[in-house]
Structure 1
Amino acid sequence: MRIAANAGLSTAQWVVTTSVRTGARVARGLAAGESPMKIAGDLGADLRAAARSVLGVPDEEPAHAASLAEPRAHGASLAELRARGAELLRQSSDVRFVEDTHPAYERILGELTPDEARIIRFLYREGPQPTVDVRTNRPLGIGSELIEAGLSMIGRQAGVRNMSRTNAYLNNLFRLGLVWFSREEVEPSRYQVVEVQPEVQEAMSRAGRAPKTVRRSIHLTPFGEDFCQTCLPLDT
């Protein structure tokens, strides 16, 4: 009973003292023109500190506070990331440093399917390839609807096993920075072969009367060319 009475008295004293301090803090903040959000934030921190003092709870651990102040990304702290960045800049100014391959190539190899490897080797050997979009034909192009996009012979010519996934393969290669989709055309005669393919003809039949084809192309990026030269056997 004595312990409970002492605890109740301490709590009552803390409530009175804290209430007086809180009221004074609000009055000073409003008089100084501070925003209510800032005042509320400061009061919350003060109340937590006071409650820990009354209950005998130690302050937050420094390590925890440090983790809040210094966010971690992919397991590395901000200081570690900056140290690695500084090391890269140091190596860039060191004439004796030799970089054999791009550090991303190993990761990219793990994110490619065998079919995708065949596609980028084909693009490296044969150069940019024609693709077509099939759209409905409307006067002045107003209200034209896209029926199929990115139809090509790349999968067939590269010899992929799963032809239906060709566009998905190309999207992944684009994500990895190995290919890019251009609005520019290649030689006009090359589109004639693409436009008579079964999948293009089927899309054109769905487009209705007088369908429209939009000619585009797919290229390897300079990064993709270097990747092929470094990682793929090109003479087999």
Structure 2
Amino acid sequence: MRTTEHLVKLARQLSTTAERLPGAGLVQKEYEIIEDALLQSMHQRMKRAVSRSAESPVALPPPANSDNIDIAEGRVGLSPGQRLQSIMAEALEQTTEQALSDWAHRILDQLLPDEARLLSAFSSGDSYAVIGVSASRSITGPREILLSNISSVGKAAQVKARELLPSYIARLKTLGLIERRGPSNSLELDYQILESDTRVQQALNEAQAGNYSRIRTERGTIKLSATGNKLWQICTQHKSN
């Protein structure tokens, strides 16, 4: 007999296939009903498993509500199994809007003020010049990144700790909020200004002094990703409400 997890996976595969068939909207609604029932079964099974554990019982928090702080406080002292059970209980009650709101809050919890400035600059939809320095230790050796994320966006966003800009950009990339693309001819002047940056010149000089081969500057552009745009939409929508 298939486990509940296998049935959930199968239902999702069928849903993906059904999207290409006539009447996909109706099929999708039926799938969501089935998935909710399966998730409910998983939740009940976990609840029974936790109740049989040898751990001291701890009262579970109430069902999900709109106050994220209350929910987080309610999880203090829970075992890992009980916390997962609590999260699954929230998932069963949660709407799409609530799920997006929780995701946005989690991302915002990780942002520094300077990084928020950068997001605001990227929200215009503009692409910004970004360069780095790469080289290899031999003619046939692998290319190494010696410097990265030197960009013109720092000035546009009025970043306070400008020396931390490469780190800010790296973090925003890791969070999936911005993406790097190829160079743009329209940003030629910006590239030339960045290539005269002290850090870039220092990296080039150190590479030459270290007998690196194939030393070059790497040009590109960075802009808001689809995920970053979604976050910005959620935040501005809530701000206006």
TM-score by length of 2: 0.53
**2-structure distance, mates of 1:100, 1:113:** 23
8 Å CA contact retained: 1:131, 1:191: yes
- Using the TM superposition, give the Cα deviation of residue 75 of structure 1 relative to its aligned residue in structure 2, in angstroms: 4.9
Is residue 191 of structure 2 the alignment partner of residue 191 of structure 1?
yes
| Structure number with bigger Rg | 1
Listed one character per residue, the Cα deviations across residues 20-50 of structure 1 (whole Å, up to 9, x for unaligned) are: xxxxxxxxxxxxxxxxxxxxxxxxxxxxxxx
1:105 aligns with 2:107: no
Distance in 1, matches of 2:129 and 2:221, equals: 4
1:220 to 207, 221, 224: 224
Which amino acid in the other structure matches residue 194 of structure 2? V
**Aligned length, in residue pairs:** 162
> Partner of 1:171: helix, strand, or coil?
helix
User: How many angstroms apart in 2 are the aligned matches of 1:178 and 1:215?
Assistant: 20
Superposed displacement of residue 150, structure 1: 2.0
From 223, 226, 231, the equivalent of 2:235 is 231
Q: Match of 2:203, SS?
A: helix
Deviations 1:207-234 (A, max 9, x none): 2187311223322112212322343599
The 3 A distance-change label for structure 1 pair 75 and 200 is farther
Q: How many Å apart are 1:76 and its aligned residue?
A: 1.9
Distance in 2 between residues matched to 1:224 and 1:151, nearest whole Å: 20
3-state SS, counterpart of residue 166 of structure 2:
helix
User: 2:148·2:166 contact (CA, 8 Å) conserved in 1?
Assistant: no
Q: Which residue of 1 aligns with 2:161?
A: 162
Q: CA deviation at 1:174?
A: 2.5
Q: Compared with structure 1, are the counterparts of its residues 165 and 64 closer, same or farther at alpha carbon in structure 2 (3 Å cutoff)? A: same
| Unaligned segments of structure 1, at least 5 residues | 1-60, 93-97
Partner of 2:61: none
Q: How does 1:17-96 map to 2 (within 5 A)?
A: 62-64=52-54, 73=80, 75-78=82-85, 80-88=86-94, 91=95
Instruction: Give how far 1:165 is off.
Output: 1.2
Change (3 A) 1:141 1:122: farther
Cα deviation digits, residues 67-101 of structure 1 (max 9, x gap): 8xxx95485244x444433434xx56xxxxx6696
Cross-structure match for 1:13: none
Query: Contact 1:115–1:161 at 8 Å: present in 2 too?
Result: yes
- Amino acid across the alignment from 1:76: R
Structure 1 segments of 4 or more deviating over 6 A?
Answer: none
Residue 130 of structure 1 and its aligned partner are, at CA, apart by: 2.0
Which AA in structure 2 matches 1:205?
Answer: N
Distance 1:84 1:139 in 2: 55
* Deviations, residues 138-167 of structure 1 (Å, cap 9, x unaligned): 776635443212222222332111112112
Task: Indicate if the aligned counterparts of 2:130 and 2:219 stay in contact, CA closer than 8 A.
Answer: yes
TM-score of the aligned structures, taking structure 1 as reference length: 0.54
- CA positional deviation for 1:124: 1.6
Post-superposition Cα deviations, 1:39-63, rounded to whole Å, max 9, x if no partner, equal xxxxxxxxxxxxxxxxxxxxxx944
Partner of 2:116: 117
Distance 2:215 2:84 in 1: 56
CA distance in 2, matches of 1:161, 1:177: 23
